Amino acid sequence: MPWLPDFVSAVELARVQTRDAALADPAASYLQALSRGETRDLEAAWPGAVVVHDPRAGEIRGHHRLRRFIHDNHAWFDAHDARIERVASTRAGRRAVLELLVRLTVDDGEQVAWPIAVVAESPDDLSVVFRTYCSQWPVSGQRPVRAAILPPGDEDLAGVVARYHSALDSGDAEAIMTVFAADGYYGEPIGPHPVHRGAAELRDFFTERLRDGGIGLQHCAVTDDGVRCALEYNCVRWGSEDVAPQAGIGVYERRPDGLLAAARVYDDVVPPTGARAAGGP
């Protein structure tokens, strides 16, 4: 059968191309698996350990549980007529962050826009970890505490992102105003008006948000490509009150002049009783 070596070579080439595509954009490959409801390409790209940290399903480990999770999540997306829009992507080293907007129909027939961020990190050439961040409010009407996923890290922030977080920690709304461009915006994970754009809206938002004092975050992992800086964090303090560590991620997009064009946050941080009820840092 003289054609068999050519056939085997073509199969191997297809496998290599699939793996290369997944490694080039791992978060997108994960999203594609969710959209299709099958894990073949993911398993081909990462034959070693695969771990998923999902706010709805919890921690999923191993290929067998991955297949069940992907199947169930695809069925849920299909039942809610989900349409996925890509917002932005950030990559540095072995870590990539993909921001999405999922438009779907919830159980009462309402159309909602659901912001989601997916982090893909490869600890080695054969394994991958996916961490998804979002609020559960748009789809369940509840905001369960999202326990910490990562431990505090030792990576430092720099420039405008560091100034933003210093002002956030101290509760200085006016200092935060100095880091945003004139048309810059803050994107909340939830809310009837989830985007606050321009000086007037930002000042009102942060004055209200920080009325009880600063918001304390443990910095866990930083993914910075020079344009966008994604910070995975644990929120541990709101105003003067400590809170149970709650996981989230913020993505901070810089303009060429060094100011922030956007800050987009994905979490379900629950502030102490009496503090502002919606949103996160």
Q: What is the DSSP letter of 171?
A: T
Token pair, residue 29, equals 């490959």
**Cβ atoms < 10 Å from Cβ of 181:** 18
Is domain 4-134 in CATH 3.10.450.50, yes or no? yes
At residue 17, the pLDDT reads: 53
pLDDT at 11: 41
Q: Tell me the pLDDT of the chain (281 aa) as tens digits.
A: 445 454 434 444 444 555 566 677 888 889 888 888 988 888 888 889 999 999 989 999 999 999 999 999 999 999 989 998 999 999 998 999 999 999 988 877 788 889 999 999 999 888 999 999 999 988 888 888 899 999 999 888 999 999 999 999 999 999 999 999 999 999 999 866 789 999 999 999 999 999 999 999 999 999 999 999 999 999 999 998 999 999 999 999 999 999 999 999 999 987 776 444 445 56
Supply the pLDDT for residue 259: 98
Architecture of domain 159-267: Roll (3.10)
Q: Are strands 260-267 and 180-187 parallel, antiparallel or unpaired?
A: parallel
* pTM summary value: 0.89
Instruction: Enumerate the CATH 3.10.450.50 domain ranges in the chain, comma separated.
Output: 4-134, 159-267
For 64, the token pair is 């067998």
